[in-house]
Amino acid sequence: MRTHDISKDWAYFAHAPYIQPELDRLSKELRADTKLSEDDRESFVDKITYYYSEFNAIHPFREGNGRAIRTFLRLLAVKHGYDIEWAKMNAEENVHASEMALNGNTDEMGAMLDRITMKLDD
């Protein structure tokens, strides 16, 4: 867990003292969301978009946040009958979508995830 504030050219992430409380809040939300497996694909993508955007904004590590978040979300998706095919994601598209999401607009993140998320039994 990082102990210093960090930023990128296009983003300032959660202040270090807020990382754990925000992770606790988001984890509690995720645990309470017991119907992920029952969601239709559109609702599932909406929720994954939310979680990706929120975990990215928290950015709990100095390095490896993107890889860790994508691995976690793919495992979560598989558990609930979906797959997120990250190999189909364009890196520039992801950076731009992440930047937009940090500024409160998750439309591009949602469009990207909609394109790469598949129902496993399809």
**For residue 62, what is the domain's CATH number?**
1.10.3290.10
Q: Is 9 a member of any domain? A: no
Q: How far is CA 64 from CA 1, 6, 21, 60, 86, in A?
A: 11, 13, 20, 9, 15
Q: What is the pTM of this model?
A: 0.93
What is the domain extent for residue 43?
14-119
Is residue 87 in a domain?
A: yes
Does any domain span residue 4?
A: no
Specify if 25 maps to a domain. yes
Average per-residue pLDDT in the chain?
Answer: 94
91 inside domain: yes
Is residue 78 very low, low, confident or very high in pLDDT (cuts 50, 70, 90)? very high
Instruction: State the residue for tokens 């520039």.
Output: 92
Give the chain's domain count.
1
The answer to whether position 5 is within a domain reads no
